[in-house]
């Protein structure tokens, strides 16, 4: 009997788009996965501003910090979470989005 090679097959995840939307379906954040190993986050200025202006001054600062964090989520993933190997990129995105939508009574949608 010969010695065979063992190959590990790691399926590439299909791309997914993650959204944070208002109750009336207006997109505030749009995050596009790129082939399962990278992503890009965009905060939609118009809807972000409309939502922000309806908050108290203290809430406005907290909301801005949350949106800033989402803008920097890619760096957080690659520098803090990914090296530990605890969770997948998609799970990291989902956890952070869910944390923020609960805080602001928003909606999390994927496509």
- Name which residue leads in pLDDT, 13 or 76: 76
pLDDT band at 12 (very low <50, low <70, confident <90, very high): low
- Domain presence at residue 95: yes
Tell me whether residue 82 is exposed, middle or buried, using C-beta atoms within 10 angstroms of its C-beta: 0 to 12, 13 to 18, 19 or more: middle
DSSP assignment of 20-47: EE-TT--EEEEEEE-TTS-EEEEE-HHH
What are 76-94's pLDDT values in tens digits?
A: 999 999 989 899 999 999 9
- Domain presence at residue 5: no
What are 31-62's pLDDT values in tens digits?
A: 999 876 899 999 999 999 999 999 999 999 99
Domain hosting residue 97, numbered range: 17-110
- Domain presence at residue 23: yes
Residues above pLDDT 90, as percent of the chain:
80
- Domain presence at residue 89: yes
- Domain presence at residue 49: yes
- Domain presence at residue 37: yes
- Domain presence at residue 6: no
- Domain presence at residue 8: no
Q: pTM value? A: 0.84
Domain count, the chain: 1
Q: Within 13 A of 101's CA, how many CA atoms are on the CB side?
A: 19
């Amino acid at each position: 009997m010969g010695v065979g090679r063992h190959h590990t097959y790691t399926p590439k995840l299909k791309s997914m788009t993650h959204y944070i939307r208002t109750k009336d379906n207006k997109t505030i954040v749009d995050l596009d996965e790129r082939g399962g190993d990278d992503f890009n986050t965009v905060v939609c200025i118009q809807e972000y501003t409309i939502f922000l202006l309806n908050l108290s001054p203290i809430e406005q600062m907290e909301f801005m910090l949350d949106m800033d964090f989402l803008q920097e989520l890619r760096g957080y993933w690659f520098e803090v979470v990914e090296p530990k190997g605890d969770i997948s990129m998609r799970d990291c995105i989902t956890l952070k989005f869910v944390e923020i939508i609960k805080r602001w009574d928003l909606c999390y949608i994927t496509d």
